[in-house]
Copies of this chain bind each other. A is one copy, B any other.
Amino acid sequence: MAKQEYLMGLLSKPITSLDDLFVHTLQDIYYAEQQITKALPKMIDKASDPQLKQGFQSHLAETKNQIKRLEQVFQMHGAEMKAVKCPAIDGILDEAQEILGDAKDAEVIDAAALASAQAVEHYEIARYGTLIAWARQLGRNDCAGVLEQSLEEEKAADRKLTEIAEARVNRVAV
């Protein structure tokens, strides 16, 4: 990301209320989901395990839909629809690239891609969980309802990745 964008995006508004926190975190996850849609095609490309490849493909479609849901929540809440730089997802994705970058062996690449995807899922699970709690605290059960759909998808995606990881362990152990 260009330095200018960074300066433009990051905490352009001071956080003084729970509403500010809610909107900032919406803008943070809006950025994160966009970065994930850029990262996933590279992971689809690198993965060899057909189940893993397919899992990434369906999660890419889900992520695009989650972006639409965030846009819906911005509109419902009358908040500025913009992405603010999220150092957490950048760090998680940088780490994924470092690990994937060096590996040559298909098994190692799949293991690294799977681990990186689970770190991404858990980041999203944490953030959507927080956003839902704050939406309820702010009396925005309507926003909470929309965000819950994304949280359930993220949890299901993580469970699917865990199943793939466990199948890999058992395959080696047999």
Contact = CB atoms under 8 A, between A and B. Distances in A.
Interface string A132-174: 0110110000000000000000000000001001101100110
Interface string A118-139: 1101110111011001101100
Nearest to A144: B169
Contact of A119 (B14, B112, B127): B127
A99 to B, nearest CB: 6
A105 B19 CA distance: 12
B108 A130 contact: no
Contacts of A114: 130
Copies of this chain present in the complex amount to 2
B92 A18 contact: no
The interface residues of chain A, by DSSP majority, are classed as helix
Contact of A18 (B17, B88, B108): B108
B28 A95 contact: yes
A91 interface: yes
Would you list the 5 A-B pairs with minimal beta carbon distance, nearest first? A91-B91, A87-B91, A122-B122, A122-B126, A88-B91
Given A92-B123, A111-B137, A130-B165, 18 more contacts: A10-B98, A14-B102, A15-B112, A16-B108, A18-B111, A20-B108, A24-B99, A28-B95, A87-B91, A88-B92, A88-B94, A90-B91, A91-B92, A114-B130, A118-B129, A119-B127, A122-B126, A137-B168
